[in-house]
Amino acid sequence: MNLSLFLPLVVTAALAIAGWWAVHRLSMNRDQENKRRDLRVQYLLEAYRKREHIADIRAELPRELRLEPLPDKIINFHYEGPPRKVPDDPL
């Protein structure tokens, strides 16, 4: 067995495996953080919607003075803001 050919092969393979593992681990952590963030936003939006419906005083008004509730899209726009525009070409 030729050691001068085997040693670079082993080192290269070990570095490739270590790099793959590091990238996989970092991607997994990023995905978990993104999922936590999405769940947190979802829970907050749901809490705001419940709070809005609880604080609604329309039921106490006479029928002719009542207004229709706002659609959820308007409420979401109020809490989330407008969609961000991403340029097609960053350069």
Q: Provide the pLDDT for residue 61.
A: 61
Tens of pLDDT along the chain (91 residues) come to 688 889 999 999 999 999 999 999 999 999 999 999 989 988 888 887 777 766 665 556 666 655 555 566 666 666 666 666 655 555 5
Q: Provide the pLDDT for residue 2.
A: 82
Q: Provide the pLDDT for residue 4.
A: 85
Give the residue carrying structure tokens 């097609």: 88
The number of angstroms, rounded, from the C-alpha of 33 to the middle of its chain's C-alpha atoms is 8
Tokens of residue 58, six digits: 């329309």
Q: Provide the pLDDT for residue 14.
A: 97
Angle subtended at Cα 38 by Cα 37 and Cα 43, rounded to the nearest 5 degrees: 100
Q: Provide the pLDDT for residue 47.
A: 83
Q: Are 52 and 75 in contact (CB under 8 A)?
A: yes
Q: Provide the pLDDT for residue 24.
A: 97
